[in-house]
Amino acid sequence: MRYFIEIAYNGKNYHGWQRQPNAISVQEVLERTLSTLLREEVSVTGAGRTDTGVHAKQLFAHFDLVSGEIPGDIVFRLNSFLPNDIAVKDLFVVKDDAHARFHATERAYEYRVGLSKNPFKQDFSYIIHAEPNLEKMNAAAKLLLGHQDFQCFSRSNTDVKTYYCDVKTAYWTKKKEELIFKISADRFLRNMVRAVVGTLLEVGSEKTTIAQFKSILSSRDRSEAGPSAPAHGLYLTKISYPKSIRP
Catalytic residues: 51
* b/e code 58-87 from CB counts within 10 Å (16+ = b): bbbbbbeeeeeebeeebbebbeeebeeebe
What are the start-end ranges of the E strands in the chain? 2-9, 45-46, 55-64, 86-94, 106-114, 126-127, 167-175, 178-185, 234-240
Nearest alpha-carbon partner for 111 in 182, 49, 60: 182
Longest dimension (CA), the chain: 59
Q: Give ∠ CA 142-146-148 in degrees, rounded to 5.
A: 120
**Residue 46, Cβ neighbours under 10 Å: how many?**
21
Cβ-based neighbours of 183, under 8 Å, separated by 6 or more: 108, 109, 111, 141, 144, 167, 169, 170, 193, 196
Q: Which amino acid is at 62?
A: H
CA 125 to chain CA mean position, Å: 15
CA distance 14 to 106: 25
